[in-house]
Amino acid sequence: MKKFLNIMVPSMVGSVLTIVAFMLLGLNDRPEVVTGSNENLAPAHRAVYTVKEDGELVPLDFTGVSKDVMNSVVHITSTREVSGGLPFSFDRRHPLEEFFGEEFFRHFYGKPENNQPQRPAPKKFEQKGTGSGVIISPKGYIVTNNHVVDQATEVEVTLHNNQVYKAKVVGTDPATDIAVLQIKADDLPAIPIGDPENVEVGEWVLAIGNPFNLDATVTAGIVSAKGRNINIIDDQSAIEAFIQTDAAINPGNSGGALVNLNGELIGINTAIASPTGSYAGYGFAIPVSIVNKVVGDIMQYGMVQRGYLGILIRDINGDLVEAEKLKVAEGVYVDSLMETSAAGDAGLKEGDVIISINGVEVKQTADLLEQVGIHRPGDEVKIVVDRNGRDMKFDVVLANRKGTNEILASNELEVLDQLGATFKDLSRAEAEKLGIEGGVKIESLASGILKSQTQLKPGFIITAINNQEVNSVEELEKILEKTEGGVLMEGTYEDYPGKLYVAFGLDK
């Protein structure tokens, strides 16, 4: 009994003291609830607060921004024609006759023998893909990713109000993965454009698009990093300086908007890094600085006007610092100068380390590519380099791909540039191994006619064009310069038996 009292007495005393304390603090008071017939008794909206640069506390509320921006984001459906059979046909009558006509083949090859084996025509079917886009002009102009509409035979745009339009592809730039579309509509809700210089790591952003075919989906996150190069764009002139975000981006978000809390466009959602193909915390968007430049060029010139320094560059790491005895640990190393080099003409040398351009600090190649990528041929850029521990300044006038400072018209591209490939003369040993006189090998394919109109792969060996023998890159260029309209390319692969015939159109 005594033991029981020893336990109970302290407990009762503690309870009494607690009650007294609550009464003194007034925490047990229950305010009267006064209601009126028109009073809204819904609980108050709760918000997290963030701090502006001036120190003002503002609620972190995404509802207003989401409503405004969703009207400027569209759903894109693209249709591609896909062949289900062999990519090429050994049959000289099909399917190329459909492109050129029967008389073309009779003229060059004569009529096939009756006993010539015929292969069935490859089956063709339509393949549909979906993505997103952003209205950038009230007059119907829309920006999206190039890979959303690449090789599409038909593009359809659905607005947020469910109106559907057929879209025209105004222009594309595979090097930045940007495409511009137009629909026949007016007074569209164009999205406001943000200031690229104000985008900061850590700021809140929203990603708006159509993942997994789900219309008008909004996700929130922050800017995780800037200037990311993830080597995802397959193009010789690729420019990657992505904004990285942890806002959820999934297949179907491509071409959608990345906006700040003012509802301003700061990027076009493009890619994800994921082991599964779905969101894993890493999304990437093309910064609005590059979007503005590419869209402006396409609208004004019909093609992107890209400025070149004429240098080969490398990121700096510990090994390079040690091997080259560099005095800085950040920047872009000038590995070599091209034969025609705007940077070389201005005074840059091999071994220089570029540390800033136009006052913007350069820590890696993505920083340099972004700053050069927003300029055109003929623009002057101010470059600071570290040369053996000494800062040196240079004014460089950017050149075009031909090495001049002029703006190019779309019809001024060399014919081999239009094909979008790099070529190499077939060596004598390679020709003897294949049992042919000679040819031209396709080393790589980027944006251009061959990639968009054919299913060719690197390694294809061209032996003839329109029944004219081709033994060198020079011969290939001369033949094509005199050719317009339908082109029949004959060739083979090293590990493929027989000849292959590829057709494409060349419009000068």
Average predicted confidence (pLDDT) for the chain: 82
> Does residue 249 belong to any structural domain of this protein?
yes
Do 297 and 315 sit in the same domain of this protein? no
Do 500 and 482 share a structural domain?
Answer: yes
**383 contacts 335 by C-beta, under 8 angstroms:** no
- Tell which of 240, 274, 301 closes a domain: 301
Residue 235 sits in the same domain as residue 326: no
The last residue of a domain, from among 270, 301, 332: 301
**Computed over its alpha carbons, how large is the radius of gyration of the chain?**
31
Domain containing 456: what range?
413-506
Query: Residue 278's pLDDT is what?
Result: 81
Residue with tokens 């993942």: 211
Q: What are 173-210's pLDDT values in tens digits? A: 988 999 999 999 999 999 999 999 899 999 999 999 99
**Residues 259, 330: one domain?**
no
Whether 374 contacts 287, CB under 8 Å: no
The tokens describing 330, both together, are 């950040």
338: left (phi > 0), else alpha (psi -120 to 50), else beta?
beta
φ, ψ at 361 (rounded to 5°): -65, 135
Residue that has been written with the tokens 């969101």 in this structure: 279
Examine the domain organization and report whether 178 and 98 are in the same domain: yes
- For residues 256 and 248, what is the distance between their CA atoms, to the nearest angstrom? 12
Let me know if residue 40 belongs to a domain.
no
CATH number for the domain harbouring residue 432: 2.30.42.10
Regions in the chain scoring below 70 on pLDDT = 1-48, 50-53, 58-59, 83-124, 235-236, 410-414, 446-447, 507-508
Domain membership of residue 475 (yes or no) is yes
Any residues with CB less than 8 A from the CB of 223 and at least 6 apart, and which? 199, 200, 201, 202, 203, 205, 243, 244, 245
Around 13, how many Cα atoms within 13 Å sit in the side-chain half-sphere?
6
54 residue type, one letter: D
Q: Give the CATH number of the domain where residue 218 resides.
A: 2.40.10.10
The residue whose two tokens read 């003012």 is: 262
Judge if 219 and 294 occupy the same domain: yes
With pLDDT > 70 as the criterion, what percentage of the chain qualifies? 79
331 and 277 within one domain: no
Residues paired with residue 131 on neighbouring β-strands, in sequence order? 76
Helix (H, G, I), strand (E, B) or coil at 146: helix
Give one DSSP letter per residue of 180-235, joined into a string.
Answer: EEEES--S--PPPBP-GGG--TT-EEEEEE-GGG-SSEEEEEEEEEEEE------S
Task: Confirm whether pTM is higher than 0.95.
Answer: no
User: Are the beta carbons of 130 and 144 closer than 8 angstroms?
Assistant: no
**Cβ atoms 487, 503 nearer than 8 A:** yes
Which residue numbers are catalytic? Answer: 147, 177, 254
Residues 171 and 236 in one domain: no
Tokens 């779905």 found at: 278
* Secondary structure (3-state) at 274: coil
For residue 359, give both structure tokens.
């006052």
Owner of token pair 């193009």: 235
Residue 135 lies in a domain: yes
Q: How does pLDDT run across 55-74, given as a tens digit for each residue?
A: 777 667 899 999 999 999 99
Please answer whether residues 303 and 267 qualify as being in contact, where contact means their C-beta atoms are separated by less than 8 angstroms. Answer: no
**Residue 432 phi, psi (nearest 5):** -65, -40
Q: Exposed/middle/buried for 304, CB within 10 Å: 0-12, 13-18, 19+?
A: buried
DSSP 449-501: HHHHH----TT-EEEEETTEE--SHHHHHHHHHT--EEEEEEEE-TTS-S-EE
Asked whether residue 158 falls in the same domain as residue 100, the answer is yes
Q: Does 368 share its domain with 428? A: no
At which residue do the structure tokens 């009494």 appear? 16
Rounded to an integer, what distance in angstroms lies between the CA atom of residue 363 and that of residue 368?
8
Same domain, 169 and 210: no
| 425 sits in which H/E element | strand 421-425
Per-residue model confidence (pLDDT) at position 14: 56
Residue 279: its pLDDT value, please? 85
Are residues 365 and 447 both part of a single domain? Answer: no
3-state helix, strand, coil in the chain (%, to 5): 25, 30, 45
Residue 27 covered by a domain: no
Q: How many domains does the chain have?
A: 4
Cα–Cα dist 91/176, whole Å: 38
- Is residue 67 a part of any domain in this protein? no
Taking the C-alpha atoms of residue 82 and residue 124, their distance in angstroms, rounded to an integer, is 5
Residue 283: inside a domain, yes or no? yes
Which residue type is seen at 40? N
Token pair recorded at residue 201: 């790591």
Phi-psi region of 5 (alpha: psi -120 to 50; beta: other; left: phi over 0): alpha
pLDDT of residue 106: 44
Q: Is residue 79 in a domain?
A: yes
8-state DSSP, 238: -
Of the candidates 183, 210, 241, which is a domain's last residue?
183
